[in-house]
Structure 1
Amino acid sequence: MDKIPMTIAGHKALSEELNHRSSVERPNIIAAISEARAHGDLSENAEYHAAKEQQSLNEGRIQELESILALADVIDVTKLGGNTIKFGATVELVDEDTEEEKTYQIVGNPEANASAGKISLSSPIARALIGKEEGDSIEVAAPGGSKAYEVLKVSYI
């Protein structure tokens, strides 16, 4: 499988989630299952079934996190530089229609969170930005129609 590019902060956040799920959530769920088993007949025990479902979801997420972290290619974006936009860049844009300014950091898929200003390397806007420089204009096909942006600033922080 291919390596997954990731920032140091993204790797740390996923590692912390894995640790929390393994060392806190897992024992809590096991305790809940044990308590539900003590209530008797498992076929009609909603608490037992809910705890088993929660255990299944938690274990699935643990496996997913372990896979992602095993394939992580951690990149220190503070050591990157230049004028062109690439992975890890923090980009200030202005919408050419509304004059609204937005700031995004281009990150790996597992750490993307658009509401926090972190967009996935594979998102349409990030793909349009890669290789561009300050002053360049881009056009992105969005669900509500095409959007045009101008790159105001590129930094690696």
Structure 2
Amino acid sequence: MPVRMDNVGLVVADLDAAIPFFVDLGLTLEGRTVIEGPWAGRVTGLGTQRVEIAMLRTPDGHSALELSRFLTPDVIADHRRAPVNALGYLRVMFAVDDLDTTLARLQPHGVELVSEEVVRYEDAYRLCYIRGPEGVLIGLAEALPTPQA
């Protein structure tokens, strides 16, 4: 039985652009390093590999985002602009305290709303999907105050 979900990994082409985006979103950069050697290739099944990674911790401290930039071997597929109904990875969802402020803070990174608007889900959330660094799909959700009876 799993103890917890430790991290989500995203492969990016430009680590130097992706890190500031996620830091501005509210994550904390814990470290950046190059992973290589026979053991790494055995884990991933890629054989010889050299990957630069950055680990970013979520504000609650319970999870992390691992950004990877493959130096070798070359990237063989590109899913950055895949629609939300593509098989496989869909998106990473972040709970935010103020959706409008978060979107404004991310604007300098070229954030695009997937639809033209932020939507309201009942009396529970304001939600949107955005395209983050390199077109990666990211969800943002702001919990609405609970109506008083």
Pair in the same fold by TM > 0.5: no
The one of the two structures with greater contact order (alpha-carbon pairs below 8 A, sep at least 6) is 1
Range into which the TM-score falls when normalised by the shorter chain: under 0.3
Over alpha carbons, which structure has the higher Rg? Answer: 1
